[in-house]
Amino acid sequence: MKKVIVNILIVLAIVVACDIVAGFVGDSILMSTPQVGMLQTDAHQALFKKKADVLILGSSRARHTYQPKMITDSTGLTAYNAGIDGHGMNYALIVMQSFLERCKPQVVLLDACAAMVTSEWLDNSIDDVKHFYGLNAPLTNYVSEYGSWQLQAKLHSNLYRLNSTPVWMAKARALPVHDCDGYVSQHGNLADTAIVNFTNFETNEIQVKCFEQIIETCEKNNIKLMVYIAPSLEVTAKFQRWMKVFAQRHHVTLYDYGCDPFFFNNRNRYFNDSDHLNDLGARIMTNIFICDAKTLLK
C-alpha cells in the first residue's frame, strides 16, 4: 500500500509540475499571439489591446453589421467592433470593463439579441476566453462572482485553462498578421426565406445583471450607451417587448430595427442569411447608426 501511495504522489507531483510549466509557457505564447482575424485573436485584441472612441459590443449580428471604418470616416471617432459569434451580455460586460482599463470610449453601441440575455450563451461566452482567467481582471472577477464552484476549482489548473488552445495558437502563428477592426463582411444574398417567429424567450438572471452592470458602468463613466436591435428574419417578439420595458426602466435609448420593414421588404438584397445582414445591408445599418449617434452627440 505504501508503494501505491508513493506512486500516486509521484504522478501528482509530475502533473503539478507540468501544470506550472504549461502556465508559464502558455501565458507567454498566448499574450504574444498576433492579430490574424480569428475569433480567438479578436477576443485577445478586445480584452487586452484595442482602444477606441466608439466601442461596438454584441454577438455575430454586431460583428457582421457595424463597420468601424465607416464610423471613423464619417464622425472622426475611432471605432472597434468587439462583437463575437455566440457570446452573451456577460462577455460584452467583460470586454467593456477591459476597455475601461485602457481607455474611456465616448459611445458604446450594444447590439442585443434574444440569445444574449437568455442562458443559451451563458457558458459559451466564458469557455471561449477561459484561457485568459488570471490574466484579465474583469474576466477573473466575473468568474469569482458568477462562476460555479466547479468552474472556479477547475480554473485553478493552468492545463484546464489552456485546454484546446495549442491548436488555435499554432494556427494563428501560421496565418499572416492583419490588423482588423473587428468587422467581418458577408457577401451572400439570401434566397427567398420566410420570417421565422420564435415564441420561447426566458431571460437569464446573470445575463440581465450583466446588462444592468453595462448600463451602470456607462452612466458612472459618462459614456453614451446606444442599445440596438439589428434587423433579423428570426423574430422573437417577446424579446423585443422585454427590451422595450427594460430600456424604459433603465432610461436607456433603444433603437429597435429588429422588424424594420425596409430590411424585411428587401430581404433578398440585404440579408446574407436569416439572422445576418450582408455587406450591403451592413453599410445601410452602419449609416443609420452614424445618423443616430450624431444626433445623440449633438
Partner 1 sequence: MLINSIGFWIFFAVVILVYYMIRNCRWQNAWLAIASLVFYGYVSIRLLAFFIVIIGLFYVLAIGIEKKLTQSATIARWLKVAGVGAGVGVLIYFKYLNFFIAEFTALLTGMGFAVNTGTLNIIAPLGISYFTFKLISYIVDVANEKIQAEHDVVKFTAFVAFFPTLMSGPIDRATTFLPQLGQLRKLLPGNISDGSLRILWGFFMKACIADRIAPYTDAVFNNISHHNATSIALASVLYLIQMYTDFAGYSHMAIGVGRLLGLTVTENFKQPLFAVNGGDFWRRWHMSLSFWLRDYIYIPMGGSRCSSLRSYFNVMVTFIACGAWHGASWTYIIFGAHHGLWVIVSRIMKVPRERLESRHGLLKHSTWFKSLRIVINFVVCCVGAMYFRANSMAHIVVAWKKWLSSDWGMPYLEATVPLFTFGLLSILIMIYKEHRDEYGGKALFMHSSHRTMRLVCIAATIVFIVLTGALESNSFIYVQF
Residues between 197 and 256 with contacts to partner 1, criterion CB under 8 A: none
Half-sphere exposure of 61 (CA within 13 A, CB side): 22
Choose which of 144, 164, 197, 266 interacts with partner 1 (CB under 8 A).
164
Q: Name which of 91 and 246 has its Cβ closer to partner 1.
A: 91
Secondary structure of 110-157 in HEC code, one letter for each residue: EECCHHHHCHHHHHHHHHCCHHHCCCCHHHHHHHHHHCCHHHHHHCCC
Distance CA 49, CA 98 (A): 9
Nearer to partner 1, 1 or 194 (CB): 1
In the bound state with partner 1, the residue whose beta carbon lies nearer, of 12 and 103, is: 12
Instruction: Please choose, out of 15-23, 54-62, 198-206, 287-295, the segment that lies near partner 1 by the rule CB under 8 A.
Output: 15-23
Counting contacts by CB under 8 A, is residue 168 touching partner 1? Answer: yes
Kindly report the backbone phi and psi dihedral angles of residue 255, in degrees, each rounded to the nearest multiple of 5, phi listed first. Answer: -110, 100
Does 162 participate in binding partner 1 (rule CB under 8 A)?
Answer: yes
Q: How far is the CB of 148 from partner 1 (least distance, A)?
A: 10
* Residue 57 touches partner 1, criterion: CB under 8 A: no
**221 vs 150, 167, 184, 251, CA distance in Å?**
34, 39, 29, 16
The verdict on 174 binding partner 1 (CB under 8 A) reads no
Q: Does 102 bind partner 1 (CB under 8 A)?
A: no
20 binds partner 1 (CB under 8 A): no
Strands (E), the chain: 54-57, 79-81, 107-111, 196-197, 224-229, 234-235, 253-256, 271-273, 276-277
Q: Does 18 bind partner 1 (CB under 8 A)?
A: yes
Q: Is residue 159 a contact residue for partner 1 (CB under 8 A)?
A: yes
| Residue 195 interacting with partner 1 (CB under 8 A) | no
- Alpha-carbon gap, residue 252 to 177, rounded angstroms: 38
Whether residue 136 contacts residue 267, with contact meaning beta carbons closer than 8 Å, is answered with no
Pairing of strands 253-256, 196-197: unpaired
For residue 97, give the 3-state DSSP assignment.
helix
15 binds partner 1 (CB under 8 A): yes
- Given candidates 150, 199, 222, 295, which one binds partner 1 under the rule CB under 8 A? 150
User: Given the complex with partner 1, which of 60 and 97 has the nearer CB atom?
Assistant: 60
Interface with partner 1 (CB under 8 A): 1, 3-4, 7, 10-11, 14-15, 18-19, 22, 123, 127, 150, 153-154, 157, 159-160, 162-164, 166-168, 171
